[in-house]
Amino acid sequence: LRGLIYSEIEAYGAKTDLHSGMYGGAAPNPLFALIEIISKLKDSKGRVLIPGFYKDVKPPSKDELKAWKRLPFNEEHYRKTEVGSKVLTGEPGFSVLYRTWARPTLEVHGMPGGFTAPGAKTVIPAKASAKVSMRLVPNQDPDDIFKRYSDYVKKLTPKGIETKIKVWSKGPACVVGTDNKYIQAATEAMHEVFHKDTVFIRSGGSIPIVTDFQDVLKIPSVMMGFGLPDDNLHAPNEKFHIPNFYRGIESICLFFEKLGGNS
């Protein structure tokens, strides 16, 4: 799992919304300030520009990279069916799986501010915000990355604008080793239920509490995936394949049975 920092940059200009006919050309515009800031967080090739952002990135092992190359993954099929875009973006020199599983990223999720209702209203907003997240990989410290990010945003903030950053979620990346009895029991259980070879992958998503479980309990976490590529995660018409729901229950029951036999 990748780590996560989910933040919201708030930008403030005038004391209240202003009429752009009366004050346009004189009053600072927080939306333009945010656009300027955000445009300098990544370059056109998708590389994050925060100073020191990649300093501590730990790459996957050679064995892991070899295993990924053996997976039945087709980038063109992925582009057409899962993403549905004309092109795929991201850092050059890395495969899609590498970029989405083992490289840190920065994304913008929304920019509330000013007048957004249907119709026209010529206001210069007093306040605007941008929801920005970063996915982190092993060896990146969320506190260190957040400080670098905050300092950089402050440096980029135009004169006449005040910025503040809220943090909604923060947690480190987590990679679980496969050479332990818990993972082996899960592997055997899923193989027996699905009648397919079990493969080990990473996920670009984040579950910050998994690291806490491992740190406090001192045992590896086991994460089994039962979702499908077309489940529309976080999107309209999100779903879960019912047969996989029942197979998942069966897999988990068999996992505990096997784990009990190994104890």
| Fold observed for domain 3-57+104-171 | Alpha-Beta Plaits (3.30.70)
CA 68 to chain centre: 20
The string of pLDDT tens digits covering residues 202-251 is 888 888 888 888 889 988 888 888 888 788 888 889 999 999 999 999 99
Q: What is the pTM of this model?
A: 0.85
Q: What is the mean pLDDT of residues 63-77?
A: 90
pLDDT of 142 strictly over 60: yes
Both tokens of residue 241? 């394949």
Q: Grade residue 36 by pLDDT with cuts at 50, 70 and 90.
A: very high
Domain 181-262, CATH number (from 3.60.21, 1.10.10, 1.20.1740, 1.10.150): 1.10.150
Give me the amino acid identity at 112: P
User: Of 41, 42, 174, nearest to 102 (Cα)?
Assistant: 174
- pLDDT at residue 46, as a whole number: 92
Specify the range with the lowest mean pLDDT, choosing from 45-59, 82-96, 139-153, 222-236.
Answer: 222-236
**How far from 166 is each of 55, 83, 155, 207, 213, CA to CA, in Å?**
24, 30, 17, 20, 26
Q: What is the mean pLDDT of residues 13-20?
A: 96
Output phi, psi for 73, to 5 deg.
Answer: -120, 130
- pLDDT at residue 225, as a whole number: 85
Pairing between strand 18-19 and 3-12? unpaired
Q: How much is the mean pLDDT over the chain? A: 92
Specify the range with the lowest mean pLDDT, choosing from 36-50, 70-84, 139-153.
Answer: 70-84
pLDDT of 262 strictly over 70: no
Q: Output b/e per residue, 116-143; b: 16+ Cβ within 10 A.
A: eeeeeeeebbbbbbbbbbbbbbbebebe
pLDDT of 105 strictly over 80: yes
- Structure-derived torsion over alpha carbons of residues 28, 31, 32, 33, reported in degrees to the nearest 10: 70
* Ranges of each domain in the chain: 3-57+104-171, 181-262
